[in-house]
Amino acid sequence: MLTFLGTSAAVPTKRRNHIGIALKYDGDVFLFDCGENIQRQMLSTKVSPMRIKSIFITHLHGDHILGLPGLLQSLAFMGRKNKLKIYGPEGIEDIVRMSLNFGYFVREYDIEVITVKTDNPKIIEKTEKYEIIAYPTKHSIESYGYIFKEIKKPRLNPEKAKEFGVRKEDFKKLKNGIPVKSIYGLTVYPYQVLLPPKKGMCLAYSGDTLPIEDFGRYLKNLGCDFLIHEATFDDNLKDEAIETMHSTIGDAVNIAKIAGVKVLFLTHISARYDKEYFNIYKSNAEKYSNEKFKIFIPEDLESYNLKDFL
């Protein structure tokens, strides 16, 4: 489940909160960016702040970090005990340190701050079930996009397993790559009975950036189906986008096309499109409705069940 907690750019509007995107996966919440008031936005969704495992900050502009102090404090007030990981570019340690000095409160949970520093895509977290990759992007300050990639285990071919005389209780071992003895007393190796794994869910988030075609190609290689790409401006403001190192709707569409995703979410929407001006933005996006992928412009607090699109 993917929830857009905030979708604005630098300045929040009545309609849109500072940015923050929550991915719920296997009971954990992964939070991407944390603009002001993200903790309170969560209260209107099914995203539990206590379930946040890691926070991934794309860059240290205020609209992406101002919600950290309040969130970290409220987690303390709520009695959190579990460690929280916070990833971000150089300077993130200072931001977390300042966050913890913004008011007085007693904290019983640990915070591990991981400074991301890489010129190339890099796996920054990996478990049996998923890996998270930081991708260096192009903004006015050091910034990273993040990619969440589910790792699926190989499936067992039940017919093959039967043929080889594998006991049911040994299925799990084979899936984990461990050879077993069959009912015939012979050794059965995983490659003999396993099918290739199903494709895992893969979601990429650009953060603030100029469009990067290589990023699209990288996602294509990963087989990523979902892209959240910033599109601060409509296509008429391409000059402004270049100057401020942001993307337009057309830029985001182009990256999604290169990546071959199934769904593109446009976000980080300039305050100028508040109220009736949103029509300009929306109709610009509708120009691309013939693309092979779906395009959404999420409102704040909207959730998407990604499985619906696979």
Alpha helices of 79-212 — where are they, by DSSP H?
Answer: 92-100, 158-163, 171-175, 190-193
Contacts to a copy of itself from residues 38-67, by CB under 8 A: 39-40, 43-44, 60-67
Give the shortest CB-106-to-a copy of itself separation in angstroms.
12
Q: In this complex, which beta carbon is closest to a copy of itself, that of residue 210 or of residue 271?
A: 271
Contacts to a copy of itself from residues 104-163, by CB under 8 A: 104-105, 141
Contacts to a copy of itself from residues 71-100, by CB under 8 A: 73-74, 77-78, 94-95, 98
Among 3, 7, 18, 30, binds a copy of itself (CB under 8 A): 18
94 assigned to active site: no
Size of the residue set binding a copy of itself (CB under 8 A): 36
Give the shortest CB-36-to-a copy of itself separation in angstroms.
4
**90 is written with which tokens?**
């150089």
By CB atoms closer than 10 A (0-12, 13-18, 19+), residue 76 is middle
- Paired strand residues for 84: 111
- Segment interacting with a copy of itself, rule: CB under 8 A, options 4-12, 19-27, 211-219, 238-246: 4-12
Alpha helices of the chain — where are they, by DSSP H?
Answer: 38-42, 62-65, 68-77, 92-100, 158-163, 171-175, 190-193, 213-222, 238-243, 249-259, 278-286
Q: In this complex, which beta carbon is closest to a copy of itself, that of residue 44 or of residue 187?
A: 44
Distance CA 267, CA 229 (A): 6
Q: In this complex, which beta carbon is closest to a copy of itself, that of residue 107 or of residue 262?
A: 107
Residues binding a copy of itself (CB under 8 A): 10-14, 17-18, 36-37, 39-40, 43-44, 60-67, 69-70, 73-74, 77-78, 94-95, 98, 101-105, 141
